[in-house]
Amino acid sequence: MPFACNQKNQVMNNKIRKLLLILACGLIVAFGVSIYYQPKIFSIPTAINLDGDSIDIKIKNFNVLHEVLGNKHWELRADDAQIDYDKGRITLTRVAVTLNHNANSKSQIFADTGVMNTVTKEIELAGHVKFIADADQLFHRSRSPKSPSQINPEPIGE
């Protein structure tokens, strides 16, 4: 009798092993298929031109985000960006800049074109430049106005 029980256990163990093997193979195949059909996350639509000594790069959907300690300070977006290493500039088309002042207010600047200097990090915007901001943020600061006794006028002619 003990031999018959042992044989039943082996048959049951073999069935469980086969089931686990089929399940593991199915998971491996499903993982492989999901990796194969997953969109390429890190692919950036670019075009690279090699002109002699210089390298020019064109990027579609250009986006730069500046964060400090997890807080977004500003974001620069453009439909196209062309990087010219020889001149040290980035030419942008259809530019949108978002400036985050604090949690409740932000300003936005839109322009047809822009040029960013890669050395000084300055941006020049041109063509239908539009600035949108909360009027309270621009004109009413949290400072209280000074009383006349706190204002020290500079004497004229001294």
- Average pLDDT per 10 consecutive residues for the chain, totaling 158 residues: 65 87 92 75 58 70 82 86 84 89 79 89 88 69 50 50
Strands (E) across 32-105 are located at 46-51, 54-68, 71-84, 89-100
| pLDDT for the residue numbered 158 | 46
| pLDDT for the residue numbered 154 | 53
pTM over 0.85: no
| pLDDT for the residue numbered 39 | 60
User: Which H/E stretch holds residue 17?
Assistant: helix 2-37
Helix (H, G, I), strand (E, B) or coil at 73: strand
| pLDDT for the residue numbered 100 | 82
| pLDDT for the residue numbered 36 | 76
For residue 149, the 8-state DSSP code is G
| pLDDT for the residue numbered 138 | 59
| pLDDT for the residue numbered 86 | 79
Helix (H, G, I), strand (E, B) or coil at 142: coil
